[in-house]
Structure 1
Amino acid sequence: MRLKRSDAYAAVEAYLSANTSKSAKRLKAEMGKDSTKLVLTMDEYERVTDEYKGVKVWWVCSKVMSPTRSMSYYQEQEKRFYKLSFHKRYRDIISGSYLEHVMREGKEIRLRNRQRKLYTNSPGYKWPSYKQTMWSHIVFEHPATFETMAIEPEKKREIIEDLVTFSKSKEFYARIGKAWKRGYLLHGPPGTGKSTMIAAMANLLAYDVYDLELTAVKDNTELRKLLIETTSKSIIVIEDIDCSLDLTGQRKKKGDKFSDDESDKLNSEAGLRKEAKEEGSSGSKVTLSGLLNFIDGIWSACGGERLIVFTTNYVEKLDPALIRRGRMDKHVELSYCTFEGFKVLANNYLKIETHSMFDTIKRLISEVKITPADVAENLMPKSHMDDADKCLSNLIEALEATKDEELLSLRQSSPIKQDEKLKHGSHIKENGQLHEDNESDQALNQSR
């Protein structure tokens, strides 16, 4: 059995690999467990020199074999360590700032070289062993970047600056007394790139992603345990928050009274929701207050440098307490495709920046509502024979078809509105005539 290496050993190893490997005579190469690159480290009993603020120090990689019992069935275990040597007059510098420098640099190097992961919470988790985790993961390899996203350049620049500023604001958050976290609310119609933006955010900042499925969380206590197990430099995502449990703005206030029919209806709907989300005899009991505490309660301060991202297609359905500033600090609306977004997609899919059909597309795309996902589907070549002209023609046909559908829908709804106006006018006329008749009757009575 191989014991887990200490974080200090791993940080020193990463620091020496990056800063002193050139001076070593013998190196060994290995692929780290959470690394995407081949790592060169010092070989056993190799000695290297490092210099810090004019002070020279020496590192030696060593190992010892742990003693075993005479009747043990287990193999001898290696204990690896690094030995640091320096002149005694530099003890204060070494024990003070140098070791802090080594640990800080080593951790940053490990983060840059690590293999990023996409986590999800396991439904029906029963905590069978302290060694197991509530999250399962795969390697995160999504290729999305902000450069390839079909959004306006100004909005793109604003989001990037906000994210980069957040990632460099550790001292600022400590100074103002706030947990180092930030909330993002991404809202807009389906197909406008909300999930793609999350991947682009993770790639920009080199963060892990925790995809939290609320309906698989048993209760508020389990939600808190999930939060504790997340790491720093990560994005915690709850997609389609309006569909997750009963977290909309229709909360029953204290003192509200319903009729028997209304109560039966509410109980019936609640029962259907509960039945649909239950597994076996137990369903999710996560409450709105539990989720609010998850976002910005006292437990949210454990760890640091985390983004919390909600996505929704219907922002108006959410409880205002859930998305207010301070919880969801930045609201980003991702709407239908614009001409600027189309040009990004045209460059991504067709490698063109201008074309004779662009003017027609610009006119049509300003007249109809079409999502970036639909535009991308029409720009994607369906065979090796499809060129830019063919793909742009497909898009123009799709835009014209969408325009015709919108006009037809408008015409079908117009007669109904016209009938309503006529009925409303007739009602006014009848009332007016009735009012006149009443006045005539009153005048006749007065004359009598």
Structure 2
Amino acid sequence: MTFRDVFTHLGSILASLMFLWAVFQQYFPYQLRSSIEKYSQRFVSFVYPYIQITFTEFTGERLMRSEAYSAIETYLSSISSTQAKRLKADIVKNSNQSLVLSMDDHEEVADEFNGVKLWWASGKNVAKTQSFSFYPITDEKRYYKLTFHKRHRDLIIGPYLSHVIKEGKEIKVRNRQRKLYTNNGSMWSHVVFEHPATFETLALDPEKKREIIEDLIIFSKAEEFYSRIGRAWKRGYLLYGPPGTGKSTMIAAMANLLGYDLYDLELTAVKDNTELRKLLIETSSKSIIVIEDIDCSLDLTGQRRKKMEREEGGDKKDPKQKIPQEETKPSQVTLSGLLNFIDGLWSACGGEKLIVFTTNHVENLDPALIRKGRMDKHVELSYCSFEAFKVLARNYLKLESHHLFDPIQRLFAETKMTPADVAEHLMPKMASGDPEACLESLVRGLELSKMKAEDEEKPERITRVRKSEEELPVTGKNRAND
């Protein structure tokens, strides 16, 4: 028998089966067909040892895209790139514009979990819908189908699917385009977050830098710990120090280290505590909520102090204190509302959040605002040290050592200069970018800063000497002169 004869014989068999199926559908009663199909499925399931689970792309009558489908799609992207023969490519709009591959429709890939092998297949159902236009509209419903042996049901339905969903969400977060949000009243708007700051380029003492990095990484992996001790998964940071010491740069470095979004909260634009709560609810997990210059945002920090002074009958006004809030600012956000924002019941919404305050004058802040449990870690960013200068020299001039480093080190021990001022001196002023000229500029700047500090200290020293002389006991010689 030739191949043509075999093919002809097979074709006639298939035609006969199709004819019998058509007769069955046409002439057999519906109840009989339903019973036959039900028992045939039971027979097949008894013989066929595999279980199949289908995850459709849309749920709720196509109103929402399924989170499970999206997580599975992301999880399978790495497996698909190595196994599938037909792939789909897409650009993820993150800072690196990454190319992500996923398996095309009707492809299958294998996966393994705890020594158990299973299979994922992608599919698509296409149905034509009625339309009054010239071209028919098709309704595409994509899905993923998971197939595994029935003896592994508990392992796959429990731990494996949880692992797939969790890993898929984490990959999606790593690949997402991170955003910088700001508020206009009770609404957030955003731009793409592209700040290049990292802890490697941050001008900070190496030991303090290492301590902060370790603290951040431990926090980002402590979900189970926070759940076990019954605390919301959040942590407060207070960054304080003179202007130009790198507080905003550190916040950007923290966001880049952890891969978090940034929410820059402008308190003066918030009408009241209700709007503040609404803004908090709309923040996502894996984010940093920042309130810069908290002592200047609203007159919250001195309210209790002023109330205490009024109760004690103190009529004396402190010129350093701000004008009362109601006379200058329309916002009705209160200290109580802000404290609830930080660690009240609503602060647990979303989870995995850092709340960062910055200030130039930590002494002006209300102790209730910065106590442990609200601002858990206090980080002082002070004037530039020699170790921080070496980081800046490496960043700006690509220098690890230079003969001018010794006088610069000596001058740093004798005077104060912020990292921002140091960076300005190290910024190449010419196209050639001569490193020695930049270092000489820094030496002159440090010497000038030292002279100014000494000049400012002279009147204070004279005043202290005179005051000391006035406080000396009157001697016999002085009495005789009198």
1:329 and 2:389 are equivalent in the alignment: no
1:20 and 2:89 are equivalent in the alignment: no
- Give the letter aligned to residue 216 of structure 2: L
- Aligned residue for 2:441? 394
- Aligned residue for 2:191? 138
Residue in structure 2 matching 1:31, options 80, 88, 91: 91
User: Distance between the aligned counterparts of 1:214 and 1:203, measured in 2?
Assistant: 24
* Displacement of 1:364: 0.6
Residue in structure 1 matching 2:429, options 368, 373, 382: 382
User: Distance between the aligned counterparts of 1:185 and 1:376, measured in 2?
Assistant: 24
> SS of the counterpart of 1:171?
helix
- Aligned residue for 1:147? 200
> SS of the counterpart of 1:366?
helix
When structure 1 is superposed on structure 2, of 383-392 and 416-425 the one drifting more is: 416-425
Residue in structure 1 matching 2:323, options 269, 274, 280: 269
> SS of the counterpart of 1:25?
coil
Deviations 1:297-352 (A, max 9, x none): 11111221111110000000000000001111110000001111111111111111
1:195 and 2:255 are equivalent in the alignment: no
User: Distance between the aligned counterparts of 1:254 and 1:335, measured in 2?
Assistant: 32
1:51 and 2:98 are equivalent in the alignment: no
Residues 360-379 of structure 1: matches in 2 within 5 Å? 360-379=407-426
> SS of the counterpart of 1:190?
coil
Deviations 1:43-83 (A, max 9, x none): 12222222222332222222334664555999554332212
Residue in structure 1 matching 2:402, options 328, 331, 355: 355
- Aligned residue for 1:288? 335
* Displacement of 1:7: 1.7
Residue in structure 2 matching 1:114, options 167, 176, 192: 176
* Displacement of 1:4: 5.1
Deviations 1:130-181 (A, max 9, x none): xxxx211111111111111111111111111111111111111111111111
Distance 1:253 1:275, change over 3 A: closer
- Aligned residue for 2:286? 233
- Aligned residue for 1:444? none
User: Distance between the aligned counterparts of 2:118 and 2:466, measured in 1?
Assistant: 90
1:185 and 2:202 are equivalent in the alignment: no
> SS of the counterpart of 1:97?
helix
Distance 1:254 1:76, change over 3 A: farther
User: Distance between the aligned counterparts of 1:260 and 1:240, measured in 2?
Assistant: 28
> SS of the counterpart of 2:228?
helix
Q: Structure 1 length as normaliser, TM-score?
A: 0.85
Residues 60-209 of structure 1: matches in 2 within 5 Å? 60-65=121-126, 68-70=129-131, 76-123=138-185, 125=186, 134-209=187-262
Distance 1:122 1:4, change over 3 A: farther
- Give the letter aligned to residue 393 of structure 2: A
2:237 and 2:375 in contact (8 A); partners too: yes
1:62 and 1:82 in contact (8 A); partners too: yes
1:235 and 1:307 in contact (8 A); partners too: yes
- Give the letter aligned to residue 221 of structure 2: K
When structure 1 is superposed on structure 2, of 91-100 and 409-418 the one drifting more is: 409-418
1:20 and 1:50 in contact (8 A); partners too: no
User: Distance between the aligned counterparts of 1:382 and 1:3, measured in 2?
Assistant: 58
> SS of the counterpart of 2:101?
strand
1:249 and 1:320 in contact (8 A); partners too: no
User: Distance between the aligned counterparts of 1:386 and 1:89, measured in 2?
Assistant: 70
2:79 and 2:109 in contact (8 A); partners too: no
1:65 and 1:79 in contact (8 A); partners too: yes
User: Distance between the aligned counterparts of 1:120 and 1:244, measured in 2?
Assistant: 14
Which segments of 5 or more consecutive residues in structure 1 lack a partner in the other structure?
A: 126-133, 278-282, 438-448
User: Distance between the aligned counterparts of 1:113 and 1:51, measured in 2?
Assistant: 24
- Aligned residue for 2:263? 210
User: Distance between the aligned counterparts of 1:60 and 1:331, measured in 2?
Assistant: 51
- Give the letter aligned to residue 104 of structure 2: D
2:183 and 2:265 in contact (8 A); partners too: yes
User: Distance between the aligned counterparts of 1:230 and 1:67, measured in 2?
Assistant: 41
* Displacement of 1:29: 0.5
2:203 and 2:392 in contact (8 A); partners too: yes
2:80 and 2:101 in contact (8 A); partners too: no
User: Distance between the aligned counterparts of 2:74 and 2:241, measured in 1?
Assistant: 43
Aligned-pair Cα RMSD in Å: 3.0
1:7 and 2:67 are equivalent in the alignment: yes
Which segments of 5 or more consecutive residues in structure 2 lack a partner in the other structure?
A: 1-61
Between the aligned residues of both structures, percent identity stands at 65
User: Distance between the aligned counterparts of 2:149 and 2:432, measured in 1?
Assistant: 72
- Give the letter aligned to residue 121 of structure 1: N
1:42 and 2:103 are equivalent in the alignment: yes
User: Distance between the aligned counterparts of 2:123 and 2:149, measured in 1?
Assistant: 20
User: In terms of Rg, which structure is larger?
Assistant: 2
- Give the letter aligned to residue 264 of structure 2: D
User: Distance between the aligned counterparts of 2:308 and 2:120, measured in 1?
Assistant: 67
* Displacement of 1:88: 2.8
- Give the letter aligned to residue 103 of structure 2: M
User: Distance between the aligned counterparts of 1:326 and 1:223, measured in 2?
Assistant: 20
* Displacement of 1:261: 6.8
* Displacement of 1:250: 3.8
- Give the letter aligned to residue 66 of structure 2: S
2:234 and 2:355 in contact (8 A); partners too: yes
Distance 1:391 1:5, change over 3 A: same
- Aligned residue for 2:459? 412
- Give the letter aligned to residue 357 of structure 2: F
2:92 and 2:177 in contact (8 A); partners too: no
Q: Structure 2 length as normaliser, TM-score?
A: 0.79
**Structure of higher RCO (CA pairs closer than 8 Å, 6+ residues apart):** 1
User: Distance between the aligned counterparts of 1:391 and 1:80, measured in 2?
Assistant: 61
- Give the letter aligned to residue 119 of structure 1: Y
User: Distance between the aligned counterparts of 1:260 and 1:289, measured in 2?
Assistant: 25
- Aligned residue for 2:18? none
